[in-house]
């Protein structure tokens, strides 16, 4: 039974860790969509237990953060991501996800700070630029900086599925709309 439990936990960590490709939950205005991952209470409990039993395992904290983020528990997800980043401070994907959690828990300035840290590590991380543009435009009302971040995103991902929408947003921001 214990062996089966450990296998399940490892599978959950691997599966949740792979969800780093999605950046934000579906339905968030201005964020890329993606299928929401449904985590059962038992799976969440296993992820929490694994992270607490392995406090120096960045992947366990990241998996927990991903599951909490997917469950719209943004404050708790930010806490889990913070623990992951304490162990692996250069994990850009975790920094970007943490920024999104901070934005969604009402801390847009801190979100921008996380996106800037991510961009300092990897200047070509498209979602760091895109997400920062969203926060700057819609939360902090800094149209000029938002347009710049969106333009960086478009320069890095000119054929992104949302490129047309982002180009329109840039035009609106520059025209004062």
Report pLDDT digits (tens) over 70-125.
999 999 999 999 999 999 999 999 999 999 999 999 999 999 999 999 999 999 99
Which tens digit of pLDDT belongs to each residue from 9-21? 333 333 333 333 3
Token readout for 78 is 């930010």
Scored b (16 or more CB within 10 A) or e, 36-55 reads ebebeeebbebbbebbeeee
Spatial CB neighbours of 170, under 8 Å, sequence gap ≥ 6: 147, 150, 151, 154
pLDDT for residue 37: 65
Q: How far apart are CA 130 and CA 151, in angstroms?
A: 9
What are the structural domains, with CATH classification, of the chain? 39-89 (1.25.40.10), 107-177 (1.25.40.10)
The predicted pLDDT at position 115 comes to 98
Q: What are 23-28's contacts with CB under 8 Å, separation 24+?
A: 23/96, 23/97, 23/100, 23/127, 23/131, 24/100, 24/131, 25/69, 25/70, 25/72, 28/104
Enter the pTM of the model. Answer: 0.79
């Amino acid at each position: 039974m214990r062996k089966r439990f450990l296998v399940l936990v490892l599978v959950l960590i691997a599966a949740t860790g792979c969800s780093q490709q999605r950046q934000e939950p579906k339905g968030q205005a201005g964020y890329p969509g993606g299928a929401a991952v449904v985590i059962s209470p038992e799976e969440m409990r296993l992820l929490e237990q694994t992270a607490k039993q392995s406090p120096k395992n960045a992947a366990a904290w990241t998996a927990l953060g991903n599951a909490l983020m997917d469950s719209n528990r943004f404050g708790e997800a930010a806490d889990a991501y913070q623990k992951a980043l304490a162990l692996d401070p250069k994990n850009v994907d975790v920094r970007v996800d943490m920024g999104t959690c901070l934005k969604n828990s009402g801390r847009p300035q801190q979100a921008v700070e996380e996106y800037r840290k991510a961009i300092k590590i990897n200047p070509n991380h498209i979602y760091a630029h895109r997400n920062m543009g969203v926060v700057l435009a819609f939360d902090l009302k800094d149209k000029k900086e938002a347009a710049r971040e969106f333009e960086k995103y478009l320069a890095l991902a000119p054929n992104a599925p949302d490129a047309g929408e982002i180009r329109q947003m840039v035009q609106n921001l520059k025209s004062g709309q």
